[in-house]
Homo-oligomer: A and B are copies of this chain.
Amino acid sequence: MEDSEGSIELDLVAAPARSSGRRLRGAVAQQLGIAIVGGAIGPGERLTGEIEHAALLEVSRSAYREAVQVLAAKGLVESRTKAGTRVLPRSRWNLLDPDVLAWAFAGEPDPGFTQDLFELRAVVEPAAARLAAIRRTAEDVAALHAALHRMRRHTLATEAGRAADRAFHDAVLQATRNDALISLSASIGAAVKWTTQYKQRLRALPRDPIPDHARVSDAIAAGDAAAAEAAMRALVELALEDTRRSREA
């Protein structure tokens, strides 16, 4: 391959950024994943030609195949002999997979899908707050307070502040002691991250989010399930309203 560069200038796919810690196949998977989730490839039928596609990306067939395995594991593609590997319909995708979510928000996020994620939060998080209020331990309350404290110090304008925001929501899910909900935490957290970032990008946030979060924290600490649920519902709905307003603005 040491002499192929002279004749072929097919860098159009942009050399996979392997600087990102991820191994080469991870970069290939990310690249293909973004192309698929972003709609650049389309849920019809593509990716034919294993060897030629690998050559196009300037990686070996092994690396390309392992990347495709990752995509197949997330339900994005399906490989069958003779028929090639085709992109599956969107309904088969594991949209809540953290990687898939990251890929979905790598480009311009789809407003409709962002709305869907907020709706999911509106369904899950209030119920989670209710369970958390019933089952929280002293450690859970401490984690909530710590996250809230970090949110106060930094604002949502800084990455540290947004990380604290995610830590807060994660702490609520953790306190439910429900493995299925905790697993959703990774997805919810990603949704919170991307939507908050999206909201921030358009204009400075118009409202102080601290009181909303404090109300949730206090209700959970007090063990008041109904109040925790109501406070969290208000929080999510206000966040949704902010996002919608900033999109229309």
Contacts and interface: CB of A to CB of B under 8 A. Distances in A.
Contacts of A131: 119
Contacts of A113: 179-180
A164 to B, nearest CB: 19
A131 to B, nearest CB: 7
Given A66-B69, A96-B180, 15 more contacts: A65-B66, A66-B66, A70-B70, A73-B74, A94-B97, A94-B186, A96-B96, A96-B184, A113-B179, A116-B178, A119-B180, A119-B181, A120-B181, A123-B123, A123-B124
Contacts of A112: 179
A95 B183 contact: yes
B127 A123 contact: yes
Highest count of chain B CB atoms <10 Å: which of A96, A119, A180: A180
The copy count of this chain in the complex is: 2
Interface in A157-207: 178-184, 186
Interface string A110-139: 001100110110011001100100000000
10 contacts: A70-B73, A75-B98, A91-B182, A94-B97, A96-B180, A116-B180, A117-B180, A119-B181, A120-B184, A123-B127
A interface, by DSSP: helix, strand, loop or mixed? helix
Interface residues of A, number: 40
A73 B69 CA distance: 9
A183 B73 contact: no
